[in-house]
């Protein structure tokens, strides 16, 4: 897992679908692994292939279209809804994405993404539309995300928007800190809390 994220500048893959649920991101039958690695190859498995057949890809699916590539996945409203499976975040990260842009993220997915240094960038509906338009018009359009400044910019048009992230999580991502290390450092305080 790559840590310390800050500036991501890349072309993007525009997945213009609403309510993309985690069962689509990684179908349940691939959750039988006991490690965190290797989920990327089954990302959007059933949207990618007909009848689960790798020799029979669905040509209309955007991730099968060689025109689009990059480290940024752009999706429509309510991305990551449904199951709490962290495997969804692992699969997206493992497939080479560092940022997911949407106008709205499901709660649990958002936490899971942040815990895996996959940055969820929430933008307005208007800005999302601009990204889809720019990228569809020119697939080479680069998008720049700067975590420290909390900005996302469409480089071809210089259009920019700020995004929210809580200060604690931002520090973690910028420095590669881990929540578990932090919580472990509070053990004494937690034990005191437990004592009535």
Partner 1 sequence: MGKTLFEKIWDKHVVKTIEGGPSVFYIDKHFIHEVTSPQAFAGLNKRGIKAFRPDQVVATADHNVPTVDQHLPIKEELSRRQVEMLKKNCAEHGIEMYGLGHPYQGIVHVIGPELGITQPGMTIVCGDSHTSTHGAFGNIAFGIGTTEVEMVLTTQCLLQSKPLLMRINVDGALNKGVVSKDIVLYIISQLSASGATGYAVEFAGSAIRSLSMEARMTICNMSIEMGARCGMIAPDETTFNYIKGRKFAPQGEAWERAVAYWKTLYSDGDAKFDRELFIKAEDIEPMITYGTNPGMGIGITGRVPALKDIDEKEKASFQKSLQYMGLEAGSNLKGRKVDYVFIGSCTNSRIEDLRMVASFVKGKQKASDVEVWIVPGSKQVEAQAKQEGIDKIFEEAGFMLRQPGCSACLGMNEDKIPAGKYCISTSNRNFEGRQGQNARTFLASPLTAALAAITGEVGDVREYLGKQVEEGAFIEN
Give the footprint of partner 1 on this chain (CB under 8 A).
Answer: 16-19, 21, 23-24, 27-29, 31-36, 46, 51-52, 76-78, 81-87, 89, 104-108, 111-112, 115-116, 166-169, 179-180, 182-184, 186-187, 189-190, 193-194
Task: Compute the least distance from the CB of residue 9 to partner 1, in Å.
Answer: 27
No. of helices (H) and no. of strands (E), the chain: 8, 8
Task: Compute the least distance from the CB of residue 189 to partner 1, in Å.
Answer: 6
Query: Whose Cβ is closer to partner 1: residue 30's or residue 155's?
Result: 30
CA dist., res. 56 & res. 49, Å (int): 6
Asked whether the beta carbons of 3 and 98 are under 8 A apart, the reply is no
Task: Compute the least distance from the CB of residue 144 to partner 1, in Å.
Answer: 25
Helix (H), strand (E) at residue 90:
helix 87-94
Beta-strand relationship, 119-122 and 151-154: unpaired
Task: Compute the least distance from the CB of residue 138 to partner 1, in Å.
Answer: 21
Could you say which DSSP state residue 86 is in? T
């Amino acid at each position: 897992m790559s840590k310390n994220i800050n500036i991501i500048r890349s072309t993007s893959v525009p997945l213009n679908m609403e309510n993309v649920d985690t069962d689509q991101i990684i179908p349940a039958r691939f959750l039988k692994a006991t490690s965190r690695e290797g989920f990327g190859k089954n990302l959007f498995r059933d949207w990618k292939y007909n009848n689960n057949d790798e020799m029979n890809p669905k040509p209309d699916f955007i991730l099968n279209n060689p025109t689009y590539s990059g480290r940024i996945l752009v999706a429509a409203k309510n991305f990551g809804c449904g199951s709490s499976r962290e495997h969804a975040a692992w699969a997206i990260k493992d497939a080479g994405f560092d940022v997911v842009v949407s106008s709205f993220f499901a709660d649990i997915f958002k936490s899971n993404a942040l815990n895996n240094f996959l940055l969820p960038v929430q933008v307005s509906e208007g800005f999302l539309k601009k990204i889809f338009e720019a990228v569809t018009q020119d697939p080479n359009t680069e998008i720049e995300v700067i975590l420290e400044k909390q900005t996302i910019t469409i480089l071809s048009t210089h259009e920019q928007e700020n995004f929210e992230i809580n200060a604690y999580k931002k520090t973690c991502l910028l420095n590669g800190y881990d929540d578990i290390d932090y919580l472990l450092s509070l053990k004494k305080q937690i034990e005191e809390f437990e004592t009535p």
